Structures are given as structure tokens and as C-alpha cells.
Structure 1
Amino acid sequence: MGLTKKTKGLVALRANYCCEYCRSQEQFSPSQFSVDHIIPSSKLGGDDLDNLCYACQACNNFKYVDTSTTDPITGQNFTLFNPRQHHWEEHFLWNEDTTELIGITPIGRATIVKLKLNRQGVVNLRKALKSLGLYP
């Protein structure tokens, strides 16, 4: 059936119109935004608000239907960052100039690699917005 407009609006508002993965702001992003099923429908994830997050289309595409991936340091499989269960600050830090994310846990590192959270376009956007005083 699909998500209602009201549900989509609630998810966007809860996220303050920012991607819950890369932290891009919808108003400045060249990418469309959508509601992501944290646990995909194909893996029996539901449409309840606890399974939905706001994501830029790039993060949503890189995540696809995956819920876990390999941590580049340990080589072990870890779940991806879940905005409804994990606290962002416990898994990620900004680098010194707040343009790149650093994973401080296996979940954070795995998510950065899988979703390409430091892809060049996002880093460039962060730099430009920071120079204008609009980021972070």
C-alpha cells in the first residue's frame, strides 16, 4: 500500500529534514530525500515509525536492503547504524573541520563504508555550507 503522506511528514519532521545517516540537510542537498525502512520490507520490516528514518536518496541507495556489513578494522560483520536504536554521537565523530565523519565503533565504521558517508559530493557540500556559516 505504501506510506501515507502524513507518515512521511512525521518522519521528515522528526529528523529535522536531515538525512539520519550522513546528516545532509534536505534544503541544500542535490539529492532527493525519502523514507527509509531501517529493516527493509523484504526482510519483514514494518511501516511503523520505529522502523522508519529520513534519508537522502544516495544513503538510501547505498544501504539498499542491507542491515549489516563488515567493519573495515576488525573484518567482522556488524549491524548498520539504526537511528531508532543507536545514538549517533556514540558511533560517529566529526573530523577537525567537520567535513568528514569518523567511525568510533564497529557500527559507525561499517556504516560509513557501506553508505559512503564521506562521498566526495557530501564532503564538498559540507565544506561549502560551512564556509557560509550554514553547517553543521
Structure 2
Amino acid sequence: MSSGWISETLREKIRAQASDQCGYCRSLQIYVLGLLEIEHIIPKAKGGTDDEDNLWLACRLCNNYKGTQTDAVDPVTSKKVKLFNPRKQKWSKHFEWSEDGAQIIGITACGRATVIALQLNNIISVTVRQQWVLAGWHPPKET
């Protein structure tokens, strides 16, 4: 499937596997304007393929901030680490929600580096999450 075209069948399969939720910021499709995107965990520009095991669901902000990044520096250890892989790693092992539910806290080197690299706590995301919390829609349950 490295042809550069991802079939609708595969897109639907990935949406189901991801529970219609961004693999990074956990935004649910029902609350996001526009469709969540099929993203390449290892970007094609870095040799990634269109194979199912390299694809996951991401919101536009996370996908754009991620760009071609595959690793980043952990601010605690100053070591370069791989970014979180939503297909192979469990979100709750690397991240947790702040007490108010509006911010994502990295709890491992991978998590901390991913929070910074993907700007998971950018002002737009935090502001929207605050409103979702008030509406009782957030934080999402672990899947």
C-alpha cells in the first residue's frame, strides 16, 4: 500500500481502531470541526509508508505540529527520544490530564518530548478543552 493512496476501507478501519479520536491530544471526532486526518506515524518524507501499521488518526493541529518530526528532546533529561506512537504505545502510560483536565502532562521522556514537539498545550487546544470540561465532555475516557 505504499502507492500514496489510502483506500476508504483502510481509512474507515483506522478510524475504528482509533475510536474516532486523535492519537495524540485525544480530541474526539464529534467535538472537532473538520474530519480527523489519517497521519503517517513515520512521515513519508522520512521513509514512512502508507501501510496500515504506519497510519493513525490525528486532529489537524497535532498532525500539522508533528510535520516530519519523529523524535524530540525531553526537557527533563535533555536526551533525544522517539515521539509517542499511538499505534504501539498506550496513551495513559506516557501522559495524564492536569487536575483541571485542560492540559496534557507528559509523565515519561517520550510523553514530555511529544507534548512539546506537538504543542499539545497550545492556547487554542487548552481554551477549547476548558470549554469541553465545562460541558462535561472532557477529559475522554481511556479506550
**TM-score of the superposition, structure 2-length normalised?**
0.89
Deviations 1:26-70 (A, max 9, x none): 221235421111011222222222111100111111111110011
Partner of residue 66, structure 2: 63
Q: The residue matched to 2:27 in structure 1 has which SS?
A: coil
Distance across 2 between alignment mates of 1:112 and 1:129 = 20
What is the root-mean-square deviation of aligned Cα atoms in Å? Answer: 1.3
Q: Which amino acid aligns with 1:87?
A: K
Partner of residue 77, structure 1: 80
Determine which of 7, 10, 18 is the counterpart of 1:7: 10
Larger deviation: 1-10 or 112-121? 1-10
Partner of residue 101, structure 2: 98
Partner of residue 54, structure 2: 51
Distance across 2 between alignment mates of 1:63 and 1:54 = 13
- Does residue 37 of structure 1 match 2:58? no
Q: Report how many residues are paired.
A: 136
- Does residue 19 of structure 1 match 2:22? yes
- Does residue 87 of structure 1 match 2:90? yes
Distance across 2 between alignment mates of 1:19 and 1:55 = 4
Q: The residue matched to 2:131 in structure 1 has which SS?
A: helix
Distance across 1 between alignment mates of 2:18 and 2:32 = 15
Partner of residue 110, structure 1: 113
Runs of 4 or more, structure 1, over 4 Å off, are: none
Q: Which amino acid aligns with 1:15?
A: A
Q: The residue matched to 1:27 in structure 2 has which SS?
A: helix
Partner of residue 28, structure 1: 31
Distance across 2 between alignment mates of 1:13 and 1:63 = 22
Q: CA deviation at 1:14?
A: 1.3
Q: Which amino acid aligns with 1:98?
A: G
Distance across 2 between alignment mates of 1:82 and 1:71 = 15
